[in-house]
Amino acid sequence: MARLDGQVALVTGAARGQGRAHAVRLAREGADIIAFDSCGEFVSTTYDPPTLADLKETVRLVEEQGRRIVWRQIDARDVPAVTSLVEDGTRELGRLDVVVVNHGICSYAYTWEVTEENWDEIISVNLTSVWKVVKVVSPYLIDQGEGGSIIVISSVAGVKGQPFLAPYVCSKHAIVGLTKTLANELGPHRIRVNAILPGGVKTPMAGFEWNGQKGEQNPFAGELDKPEVAAQLGSIFMNALPDRWMEPEDISNAVVFLASHDSHYITGTEVRVDLGSTAR
C-alpha cells in the first residue's frame, strides 16, 4: 500500500520544477491533488515564467498516476481565489491532509541596488502569500479534526546570508520563523508544520532551462567571476558533498517523508536537503 493512500494534498507553484515534482510524487504515493500556479510574469524576475501549458502537463502527469486532481491558474496572493479552490477541491476530493507551500520567485542584485518595486514583489510572493495560503488551509484542517501536515519550501537562504539575494533571503528566513510559529499554534490539533531547505536545484530560477539540459547559468551577473569577490564570497555557495546541483525529485523525497506517518512526531523543524551547504 502506498504511504498516502486515501489522502489529499494541496501543492502551490505546481506548474513545473519542484512543484510539479512534488505533485507527481505525492500522487504516486496515493494522494489526490489540489494544485495551482500563477503562470504569470513578475517584474522582478529575468527567467521565463511557467505557462498554462506547463500546469496542464502537471495535471496530465498526476492523472497518469491514476489520481484525481483539481487545479486552477491563480495567484497565491489572491485569498478569495485560493479559498475558492480549497473549498471546491475539498468538496470534490473529500478532505485535505497535506499542504505543500512551494511557490516563490527570485532576483539577483546587490542589496543597495534592489528597487522598491522588486523588494515589495518578492516579499509579497515569497512571504505574504505563504501566510495567506496557510491562513486559508489552517481552519479547514482544524475543523476536519484529523491532524495534517503543512510543508513550507524555504531554502538554504532561510538560514544563510547569501549575497546578491537580499529580498529572497529575508523572505526565506521569515517563512522559517512562520513555520515554527505555526508548529506551536497548530500542534494541539495534531497538525505538523515543517520547512524544507533545498540547496541548489535544477530549475529555471537557478538558471536552468525547464528541461534541465541547458546547464548552469551564472545568475550573479558575473560577480563571482571576479577574483576579489570570489575569494570572499564564493565559499558561501559551496557544498560539502561533491555535487553542485540536485534534481527537483530529490526534494520531493523529503516532501513525501514529511507528508507521511513516517514523520508523525516531527514538527517545527528545518529539513536541510542541501548537499551539505549549510554544514560549511
Three-state DSSP class for residue 71: strand
pTM over the 0.85 mark: yes
pLDDT at position 211 is 45
Is 180 a residue whose pLDDT tops 50?
yes
Give the single-character DSSP code of 188. Answer: G
Q: Are 226 and 122 in contact (CB under 8 A)?
A: no
- pLDDT over threshold 60, residue 143: yes
What pLDDT is attached to residue 92?
98
pLDDT higher than 80, residue 218: no
46: pLDDT confidence band, cut at 50, 70 and 90? confident
Contact 64, 48 (CB under 8 A): no
Q: What is the pLDDT of the chain when averaged over all its residues?
A: 91
Distance CA(58)–CA(20), nearest Å, equals 6
- 250: number of Cβ within 10 Å: 18
- Provide the residue range defining the domain that includes 84: 8-275
- Grouping H, G, I as helix, E, B as strand and the rest as coil, residue 100 is strand
Asked if residue 280 belongs to a domain, the reply is: no
**Of the listed ranges 97-111, 210-224, 231-245, the one predicted with least confidence:** 210-224
Q: How confident is the model at residue 215 (pLDDT cuts 50, 70, 90)?
A: very low
Active-site residue set: 168
**Confidence tier at 280 by pLDDT (50, 70, 90):** confident
CATH at 235: 3.40.50.720
Q: Is residue 1 part of a domain?
A: no
Residue 117 lies in a domain: yes
- State how far the Cα of 81 lies from the Cα of 136, in Å rounded to an integer: 10
Q: pLDDT by residue (tens digit) across 95-137?
A: 999 999 999 999 888 999 999 999 999 999 999 999 999 999 9
Task: Determine the average pLDDT of the residues in 244-248.
Answer: 91
> Number of folded domains in the chain?
1
Question: Torsions phi, psi of 27, nearest 5?
Answer: -65, -40
Segment 186-206 shows an average pLDDT of: 92
Locus of grid cell 476536519: 144
Residue 198 burial (C-beta neighbours within 10 Å; 0-12, 13-18, 19+): buried
How many other β-carbons are positioned within 10 Å of the β-carbon of residue 54?
18
- Is 53 inside any structural domain? yes
Q: Name which of 134, 135, 133, 175 is nearest 153 in CA terms.
A: 175
15 located within any domain: yes
* Sheet strands (E) in the chain: 8-12, 32-37, 69-73, 98-101, 148-153, 191-198, 270-273
C-beta separation of 113 from 164 below 8 A: no
When mean pLDDT is compared across 70-79, 171-180, 238-247, the lowest value belongs to 238-247
Q: Match 510572493 to its residue by C-alpha cell.
A: 125
User: Residue 199 domain-assigned?
Assistant: yes
* Mean pLDDT of the region 65-94: 98
The model's confidence at residue 42, banded by pLDDT at 50, 70 and 90, is very high
The pLDDT of 77-92, averaged and rounded, is 98
Q: When comparing pLDDT for 45 and 119, which is higher?
A: 119
Assigned domain for 74 exists: yes
